[in-house]
Structure 1
C-alpha cells in the first residue's frame, strides 16, 4: 500500500486563548501517563469523488478543527515542564495524504499494524520534529472514494474519554450543529482542571522512562486483533453468571477482560521462571463519576486509575460515541487504533455495538502461546473480515 503525504499545516485556534487560561496545570495522573501519542482511526466509505470534493472536505475538517481547538486550548499548546501546558496557541498538525492505487477495504478486511501505521501522522516510534499535543491525518483512497481520519492525542492531557469528547465537539462544529443548545454541556465543560483534585508530584521521570523502554523494544512485540462476537460474549456472560455464587452477571468488558487475562495467565504459567506473584494486571477505570463530587464527563486529562500495580494492562474504549462521528458524510464503518506497547490490550466496540475487538500486544515468543489458550480459541477469532 502506497500512501503519499501531499500537505502539512499547523492549525491554530480560531480565537486566541484568554490570558487567564494560558497555563493548564497537569494532575498527578497526567504526569504518570507518559508523553506518547495514542491514535484513533475512523474509516469512512465513499466520501469524495473528485479533487474539488476532496479540497472541500479538507477545508471543512481544518476549519472545524480550528474552532474545536478554541475550546480545547491545551491541545494547541506545548508541554512547558513536568507540571503544566503552555496554552500559547501554537497549534495542532494537520496532514493530508492520498492513496491513489489502494482500496480502503484492503485495510478494513485484514488490518495489520504496518498498514494502520501508514495512516498515522507519525510512526509509533517516531518523535515529531515539532512537539505537539494533537496531530491529525486524513488519507483519501482515490480508487474507492473512501477516507481514513487518524487523530493522535498526547497522553499527557488526554485519556480515551477526553479524546472521544474532542472528536464529538469537532463533529459538532463540522456538521454545523447549534453548539449553544443540545451540545452546551460539551462546550461548557470542555476544559476542567483536575490538578486541585489530583495534585502533581515531583516524580515525573518515572513514567517517561517506562514508556520509552516499551517503545525501544517494540521490534520484539507482536500486536494482533482478536474479535469477540456479540453472541459469544452473551454466552460467556451467561456462563459466568450461572457459575457465580452471587449470581452477578459481568459486563461485556469484564467478560472479555477475564478471557484475555486467563490467556495471559496461561502464557505466564508456561514460563520457566513462573511465579504467582508475577500475575498482576490492571484495568483502567474512569474516575469521573466515581469521585464525590463527580467530575464533568467532558473534562480533559487522564482521569483514570488502574486498580492495582501494573503488569498487564487492559484499556477499555467501549461505549464511547466514536461510531457516531458523522462530520457530514455519514458515520464511520470501522474505528480502530494501532499500538506497539508491551503487555497491553485495548478493547473497542465492534461496528455492530455488540461485539468487542481486542488489540493485544505481547512479546513475539508469548503471542503464539496466547493464541492457543482454550478461552481465546473458544470465544475469539483472529483477523475476521469486517465488510
Structure 2
C-alpha cells in the first residue's frame, strides 16, 4: 500500500489573532509535557458517492473549516518558543498535506495486528514542536473512496482533552458551519499556573521507557460492553468478605484486568509474584475547586500511582487490582479537590511524577503506564460524510508495559492498545483468556 503526498501547504487562521493575545505563556503543567506530538488517525469508509469530484469539494470544505477553527484555537496556529516558555501566536498556520493511497481502506480496518508501519505514513511526522507548526494534518484519499485523516498536535500545548475538543470542533465547522459551533475555547492555564523554574524531571510519557531495550510488539484488544459488565460482576462478587463497596468504572475494570494479567505474566517469567506500580493519567478538569472557564485548553492532567506489593499470597485476583486502581484514582481526585491554589496542585503533580520516576528506575519493580482517552468525542468527529468507523493513536503502546485505552465505536466498550515484550506476547494472551473466564 503506497502513500503519495500530492500537496503540502500552510493553512493560516481565517482571522488574525488580536494584538493582546499574540503571546501566550505556557503553564507549569505544559512544562511537564513531553516535547512530542499527539498523533491520531480517523478512518471514514466510502459511502457510495462519486468520490472523484467529491474529494475536490471535500478538500475545499476541510481547508476552509480548518482555517476558521484555527481562529478559535488561535495558539495552535502559532509557534512554540522554547527560550521564552511561550507560544508566539503568529498566525503562521497549521501544516496541511493531501495524499493519495493505493489500495482499499478496508485493508487497514482489518485489525488482526498492528499495522504500525502503514499507520505512521498516514500522519505527517514532526520530531520537535519548537519553530515547527503546532498542528499538522494529512488528508489521505484511498482509491476506494475512503478517507483517513491523520492529525498531529503538539503535546506542549495540548493534552488528549484539548486535541479531542479541537478536532471535534473542526469537524462540526466543516459539517454545518463555524457559526453553529458553540465551543469557545480558552487557554487560561499559563496565567492561572505560570511556568516555574523546576529541575529536570522525566516526563510522564517517558517514564515507562527507562531502560527499555527489548523489541516491542503492539497488540490491540477490544473489550465489548457486555464483557466489561461481566468483569464488573466478577470483581464485585468475587468473595462476600471482600465485596467491593462501589461500582467500578469501565476504565477501572479494564485497567485492573490488564494490570492483573501483566502481574501474572511476570510471575510466570520470574517464578514468583513481583511488586509493581501502575501509573495512570487523569484529566483534572472538574476535579478541583479552582475556577476555570468551560473548554479550558492546554495540559491539565495528573498522574495517579497504584501499587502492588506481594505479601504471602500466591495469586492475584481481579478485585485486588480493580480495588487498587479505584483507590489510587479516588485518592488523587480527593487531593486535587483539597488543593487551594495552583501551587498546591502543581506540587501534587511533581510529587507523583517523582514517585513514578523512582519506581520506574528500580529493576526489581515492574512498572506499567496507562493513558485513558475514553469519554472524549473521537467517534463524534463527523466532517459531513459520517462518523469514523475507527480512531486510534499512532504512537499508542510504544514501550513494554504501556497501555492506551479508547472507547469503541458504540461507546460501550474499550479498545486497549498494549505494548508487550516480544517474549511475553503468548503468555499475555493465555493469561488474558483465563482471566476473561473469571478464573
Superposition TM-score, scaled by structure 1 size: 0.86
Does residue 163 of structure 2 align to residue 156 of structure 1?
A: no
The 3-state SS of whatever aligns with 1:358 is: strand
Query: CA distance change for structure 1 residues 377 and 8 in 2, over 3 Å: closer, same or farther?
Result: farther
Residue number in structure 1 paired with 2:187: 192
Question: 2:109 matched to 1:108?
Answer: yes
- Paired residue for 1:61? 62
CA distance in 1, matches of 2:412, 2:8: 37
Alignment partners' CA distance in 1, 2:64 and 2:382: 16
C-alpha distance in 2 between matches for 1:20 and 1:235: 54
How far apart in 1 are the matches of 2:117 and 2:289?
A: 43
Deviation of 1:233 (Å): 0.7
After superposition, the C-alpha distances for 1:61-96 in whole angstroms (9 at most, x for unaligned) are: 111111111111111111112622111112111111
The corresponding residue for 1:383 is none
CA offsets 1:241-265 (integer angstroms, 9 cap, x no match): 2245343121111110001111222
CA distance in 2, matches of 1:295, 1:253: 26
Kept in 2: contact 1:215–1:341 (CA 8 A): no
CA drift at 1:271: 5.2
Deviation, 1:8, is 0.9
Contact 1:157 1:301 in 2 (8 A): yes
The residue number in structure 2 matching 1:261 is: 259
Of 217, 225, 245 in structure 1, the residue corresponding to residue 220 of structure 2 is: 225
Query: Residue 209 of structure 1: CA displacement?
Result: 11
Runs of 4+ in 1 over 6 A off after TM superposition: 215-219
CA contact (8 A) 2:25 2:191 kept: no
Structure 1 partner of 2:197: 202
Aligned residue number for residue 118 of structure 1: 121
Any conservation in 2 of the 1:319–1:349 contact (CA below 8 Å)?
Answer: yes
CA deviation vs aligned residue, 1:186-206 (integer Å, no higher than 9, x gap): 12xx12221344342234753
Contact 1:285 1:304 in 2 (8 A): yes
The offset of 1:274, in angstroms, is: 7.7
What is the deviation of 1:348? 0.8
Q: Deviations over 1:204-223 (max 9, x none)?
A: 75346974994996882221
Change (3 A) 1:215 1:2: farther
CA distance in 2, matches of 1:93, 1:219: 34
Q: For residue 373 of structure 1, give the secondary structure of its aligned residue in structure 2.
A: helix
Report the CA distance between 1:316 and its aligned residue.
1.2
Asked if structure 2 preserves the Cα contact closer than 8 Å seen for 1:218 and 1:341, the reply is no
Deviations 1:27-59 (A, max 9, x none): 222111101111121111215634322121111
Distance 1:376 1:130, change over 3 A: farther
Structure 2 counterparts to residues 64-79 of structure 1, below 5 A: 64-79=65-80
- Name 1:326's counterpart in structure 2: 382
Q: CA-to-partner distance for each residue in 1:130-174, whole Å, 9 max, x for gaps? A: 6221111111111x2111011111111111111111012102221
Please say which structure displays the higher CA radius of gyration. 2
Aligned residue in 2 for 1:19: 19
Partners of 2:204 and 2:173 in 1: CA distance: 38
Aligned counterpart for 1:247 among listed residues 220, 245, 248: 245
Q: 2:369 maps to which residue?
A: 313
Cα pair 2:69 2:178 within 8 Å, conserved = no
Matches for 1:38-57 after TM superposition, within 5 Å: 38-46=38-46, 49-57=50-58
In structure 2, relative to structure 1, the CA distance for the partners of 1:127 and 1:195 (3 Å cut) is closer
Aligned partner of residue 165 in structure 2, secondary structure: helix
Change (3 A) 1:216 1:173: farther
Instruction: Structure 1: give runs of 5+ residues left out of the alignment.
Output: 381-387
Tell me how far apart the structure 2 counterparts of residues 268 and 294 of structure 1 sit (CA, whole Å): 44
Indicate how the Cα distance of structure 1 residues 371 and 246 shifts in structure 2: closer, same or farther if over 3 A, else same. closer
Moved more, 363-372 or 29-38: 363-372
Structure 2 gap ranges (5+): 306-354, 357-366
Give the length in aligned residue pairs: 370
Q: Does residue 345 of the first structure (1) align with residue 400 of the second (2)?
A: no
Structure 1 residues 197 and 242: alpha-carbon distance in aligned structure 2, compared to 1, 3 A threshold: farther
Contact 1:122-1:128 within 8 A present in 2 as well: no
